[in-house]
Structure formats: C-alpha cells, structure tokens
C-alpha cells in the first residue's frame, strides 16, 4: 500500500504563508483581498482556478504571478510541518504526494522540509491533464509506482472527491482548511495526527 498525502493543510501548516501571499497578490492589482474563509475554502484547487473563482472578471495571470513570488518569500518564514507529522512520516510505509500546488511549488515545499527522499512520487496539480477533484493524480501515482493499493489523506473535500473518483479509500484530517463536517460524508476523519497515525498503521497492517 502507498499512503498518498496532500500537502497544504495536511502535512504542512501554510495558512499564514498562503494568506500573506494572497495579501500581496491582490494588493499588486489594486484590489481588496477576499475573506480568509473564501480563500481557504478553495485551497486544494489549482491556483489559477482559485483566482478565477474569487474574481471571475479579473485576468488571473497577474494574480497568479504575484502570489507565487510572494509565497516563495512567505514560506521560508511561515511554513512548517504540523506537530507530529515528522514522526508519522518516519513510520515504515510507502508514501507519495498529490497536491493542488504546481509541480515546482510541490517539489520546493517537500525539499524545504527535508522530505524529498521520503516520497516515491511527488505530483502537483499541473503535472496531470485534470487536477483535483478529478482522479488523474492518483491514477498517475498508480502508473508510476506500479501499485494499485492506495490510501488518500487530505484536509479538503477536493482530496476526498478525487479519491472517490479514483476508487481509492480516504481519510480526512480535521486540522486543515475544510471543517470535519464537510469531510465526514466521505469516510473517517482524524482529529489529531496521533489518530491519523493509528488509522494509517491499521490500513497498512491490513494490506500486508
């Protein structure tokens, strides 16, 4: 079995970096930043899609570019792994990443936290024809690893919708960007990293 993790809101606490980058992006085009709730409810989708959803009348390109430049700087200061994630990832299980971040951003985040060698595959939303909530990321991980037995871990409905579309079981996490009650219809939701660890280990043991 391969455990497939989302990044933002699942492994990485990037809320301050995300919101700071949005501040800069919207200010750069002379617009007021949308509410925190509006932004975080869309995390998990590709960045361009987020800006189109938030401001359909705007050209998303300068917003995207402004965000990317600001995020690179903000991440160095504000991005961190959630407490307990290092211990979880030290467990003996195969692992991969499927994220809505672009491929370069996904690789940079993984490298920033010293996890490049931990994951067999790291895929960003622009690495496949259709990003979350479509199944393409999980199908690509199956193809690249030769393993059909996957378990998706994520903090947004987009992660869990992707898993359902791919026929992959999932576990939601309640400390990220979407509330637990939004995730619950898709299956179990872990409210702590310790609880997630127990659920993952049970799944790994059952697969062996």
- Residue ranges per structural domain of the chain: 2-13+80-207, 15-78
Q: In the prediction, which pLDDT does 191 show?
A: 97
Q: In the prediction, which pLDDT does 208 show?
A: 80
Q: 179 and 35 in contact (C-beta within 8 Å)? A: no
In angstroms, rounded to a whole number, what is the distance separating the alpha carbons of residues 43 and 10? 11
Q: Provide CATH code, domain 2-13+80-207.
A: 3.40.50.1000
The structure's pTM equals 0.93
Spans of the chain, pLDDT less than 50: none
Q: Give 68-105 pLDDT, tens digit per residue.
A: 999 988 998 999 999 999 999 999 999 999 999 999 99
Q: Is 91 left (phi over 0), alpha (psi -120 to 50) or beta?
A: beta
């Amino acid at each position: 079995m391969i455990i497939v993790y989302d990044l933002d809101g699942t492994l990485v606490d990037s809320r301050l970096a995300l919101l700071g980058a949005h501040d800069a992006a919207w200010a750069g085009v002379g617009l007021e930043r949308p509410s925190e709730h509006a932004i975080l409810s869309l995390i998990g989708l590709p960045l361009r899609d987020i800006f189109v959803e938030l401001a359909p009348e705007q050209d998303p390109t300068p917003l995207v570019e402004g965000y990317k430049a600001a995020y690179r700087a903000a991440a160095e200061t504000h991005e961190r792994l959630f407490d307990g994630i290092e211990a979880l990832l030290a467990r003996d299980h195969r692992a991969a990443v499927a994220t809505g971040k672009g491929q370069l951003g996904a690789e940079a985040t993984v490298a920033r936290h010293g996890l490049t060698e931990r994951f067999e595959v790291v895929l960003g939303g622009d690495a496949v024809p259709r990003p979350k909530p479509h199944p393409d990321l999980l199908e690509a991980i199956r193809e690249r690893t030769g393993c059909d037995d996957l378990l998706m871990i994520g903090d947004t409905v987009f992660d869990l919708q992707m898993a359902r579309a791919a026929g992959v079981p999932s576990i939601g996490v309640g400390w990220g960007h979407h509330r637990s009650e939004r995730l619950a219809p898709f299956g179990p939701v872990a409210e702590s990293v310790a609880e997630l660890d127990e659920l993952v280990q049970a799944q790994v043991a059952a697969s062996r």
